[in-house]
Chains A and B, each alone.
Chain A
Amino acid sequence: MTERLVVSPSPHWKTGKTVPALMLDVVMALMPAVVASVVFFGWKALAIILTSVSSAVISEAVYEKAVKREVTIKDYSAVITGILLAMNMPPGVPLWMPAIGSAFAIVIAKQLFGGLGCNFVNPALAGRAFLMAAWPLHMTRDWLAPGFFGGVDAAASATPLAVLKGASGGALPGIWDMLLGNRAGCLGETSIIAILIGGIYLIWKEVIDPRIPLGFIGTVFVLTWVFGKPGAFFQGNAVYHILSGGLFLGAFFMATDYVTSPVTAKGRLLMGIGCGAITVLIRLWGGYPEGVSYSILLMNLVTPLIDRVVVPRYYGWKGEARKEKAL
């Protein structure tokens, strides 16, 4: 081995954080939501999660073997993609759907663009968008009414967002049920408390930046409060809007993906606000009842632009000089 001089830009200060350690933190943070999904939707939920995770890990290994790249399944990133995709699926879907969705997410959205760190959109959300476009009926109809451990009612059940939009009848569940997760919805999005536990853990461990989830949820809250009720301002059911759908899951676990979110503090706030605005746009005036996943995908695409706009101030430069430099 010859000694090599490593030339790299600052900062040169290193923390002990490594990719697998960070990823493991995210996996740990997702566990409350995983447990909640199994509690409310029974073993079917566990089967979907396991299928999705194993499909993600196997596709990553097979693809990397096939193109003779280093096999990176031990860094847990494929595991996270698998869990997140499962969390984004209705509990009644057939098991081949998470399998195909995860394979698509890993191979098409992640590996073909160069693997971890090079994907331009969040792989799990790309997988969800693909499934949504490929089998829309399964993705929008296979809801189950929640019950404790296998007490799941097989009858289709309306999600609170569909009820809010007037797309389907039925009564809204109480706030307490919404917080706990006792309502129809995708696997991992129903239990706000479980997601919050994981989210706060990630913020405490400094894995994610609170600006994105706070900006995201805050924007949705304000906009749905102002515009939520047709024909009247400031009367929208904002509390319901932020608690329903995949907002908390998306805000804490998917919009905060390092690879596809801006690197500066200001940029991250912009990312959160942008996601919130697009979500509200889709929820209130768009064709779908839920807009969280598409809003994050869209903001993923403009992340490089955000990074260009909010160039951090050069150390020692002020006002005008900075502007000149930024151009």
Chain B
Amino acid sequence: MRRSVFYDFIKGFIEENPTFRLVIGMCPTLAVTTSVVNGFWMGVSVIFVLVFANVFVSLLRKVTPDEIRLPVFVILIATPVVIVELVMRAYLPAMYEILGIFVPLIVVNCIIIARAEAFAFKQPVLNSFADGLGIGAGYTLNLILISGIREFLGTGQITVGSFRFPAAPFFEPAAVMLTPPGGFICLGLLMAVLNVLLARRERKAKAQAV
């Protein structure tokens, strides 16, 4: 059974949402989501690496011996990570300072190795491309959502460049949201909300089927 390329793209947003459904790639999710800008650039880096790695793993899947597939994956993943790292260091040095170790650590990000192993290694190139793009975009949206909530509650406003919303905080910011416990609380609550919504949808679908 071959699923449509479109489905492989769209599933990364809800059904196989990496953060809330597959629960992978949690380390950067908790560590860098203290501001929307950080979350966005982290997400973009992951999209690039994921698409690159998925496409090449898929291209080489027929000539890669099973026994050494993991070392091959690692090389195929490390290459785009080095590209991202060097490009970011050259053109976004300030952002590189902030994301720091988490950029090179994309090499060992579970999302990428999991998609290579579970998807790209068995699927055609186009589907793998769509999968990488979808999962990566879903991940980026998650990071922006979490970091938006944390930045808003933790600093009282969301700052993107010189744009600030609201212009001045109208409540006393809760510093805890910028700390790891705040990250865990925020993530847990979002996951709970998504689970409730999905469970409700499933119940409805079942009721209709009957």
* A201 contacts chain B at the CB level, 8 A cutoff: no
Sort A-B residue pairs by CB-CB distance and give the 8 closest, nearest first.
A134-B174, A133-B176, A134-B176, A134-B175, A135-B172, A133-B181, A133-B179, A130-B176
Interface string of A110-143 (1 = CB under 8 A from B): 0010000000000000000010011110000000
Interface residues on B, range: 10 to 19
User: Does A108 sit within 8 A of B, measured CB to CB?
Assistant: yes
Please give 10 more A-B residue pairs, beta carbons under 8 A apart, in addition to A133-B175, A133-B181: A112-B192, A130-B176, A133-B179, A134-B174, A134-B175, A134-B177, A135-B172, A135-B174, A135-B175, A136-B175
Residues of A contacting B174 in the complex (Cβ-Cβ under 8 angstroms): 134-135
| Closest A residue to B192 using CB positions | A112
CA distance A136 to B174 in the complex (A): 9
**What residue in chain A is nearest B185 (Cβ atoms)?**
A108
Using a CB-CB cutoff of 8 Å, which residues 169-210 of chain B contact chain A? Answer: 172, 174-177, 179, 181-182, 185, 192
Least distance between A80 CB and chain B CB atoms (Å) = 23
In this complex, the member of A108, A112, A133, A135 whose beta carbon has the largest number of chain B beta carbons within 10 angstroms is A133
Q: A interface, how many residues as a size bin?
A: under 10
Q: How far is the CA of A133 from the CA of B179 in the complex (A)?
A: 9
Q: How far is the CA of A312 from the CA of B174 in the complex (A)?
A: 45
From residue B101, how far is it (CB to closest CB) to chain A in Å? 24
Residues in chain A near residue B179, CB distance under 8 A: 133
Q: Which residues of B contact A133 (CB under 8 A)?
A: 175-176, 179, 181-182
CB distance from B169 to the nearest CB of A (A): 13
Residues of chain B lying within 8 A (CB to CB) of residue A130: 176
For residue A100, which residue of chain B has the nearest CB?
B174
Contacts of A108 in B (CB 8 A): 185
Nearest CB on B from A125, distance (A): 14
**What 1/0 mask marks residues of chain A from 40 to 79 whose CB sits below 8 Å from any chain B CB?**
0000000000000000000000000000000000000000
* Chain B residues in 8 Å Cβ range of A136: 175
- A residues less than 8 Å from B185 (CB atoms): 108
**A233 to B: closest C-beta gap in Å:** 37
Cα distance A134–B173 when bound, in Å?
A: 8
What are 15 A-B contacts with C-beta separation under 8 Å?
Answer: A108-B185, A112-B192, A133-B175, A133-B176, A133-B179, A133-B181, A133-B182, A134-B174, A134-B175, A134-B176, A134-B177, A135-B172, A135-B174, A135-B175, A136-B175
Complex alpha-carbon distance, A130 and B192, angstroms: 20
For chain A residues 67-117, which have a beta carbon within 8 Å of chain B?
A: 108, 112
Query: Inside 8 A of B177's CB, which chain A residues have their CB?
Result: 134
What is the bound-complex CA distance between A112 and B188, given in angstroms? 10
A134 to B155, CA, bound (A): 11
Closest B residue, CB atoms, query A130: B176
Most buried by B among A108, A112, A130, A134: A134
Closest to A138 in B: B172
Cβ contacts under 8 Å, A134 to chain B? 174-177
Interface centre among B172, B177, B179, B181 (most CB of A within 10 A): B172
Q: Which residues of A contact B182 (CB under 8 A)?
A: 133
Note all chain B residues with C-beta closer than 8 A to A135.
172, 174-175
- Shortest C-beta distance, B85 to chain A (Å), equals 33
Select from chain A the residue with minimum beta-carbon distance to B172.
Answer: A135
Per the bound structure, the CA–CA distance linking A135 and B178 in Å amounts to: 12
**What residue of chain A has the Cβ atom nearest to residue B153's Cβ?**
A134
Smallest CB separation, B22 vs chain A (Å): 22
CB distance from B46 to the nearest CB of A (A): 29
> In this complex, what residue of B is CB-closest to A112?
B192
A112 to B192, CA, bound (A): 10
Cα of A135 to Cα of B192 in the assembled complex, Å = 26
- B78: min CB distance to chain A, Å: 38
Q: Name the interface residues of A157-194: CB closer than 8 Å to any CB of B.
A: none
Please give the distance in Å from A131's CB to the nearest CB on chain B.
9
CA A108 – CA B181 in complex, angstroms? 13
Within the assembled complex, what's the spacing in Å between the Cα atoms of A133 and B177? 9
* Chain A residues closer than 8 Å to B181, beta-carbon distance: 133
Bound together, the chains give a CA A130 to CA B176 distance in angstroms of: 7
In Å, the complex CA distance between A134 and B179 comes to: 9
Shortest B187–chain A CB gap in Å is: 13
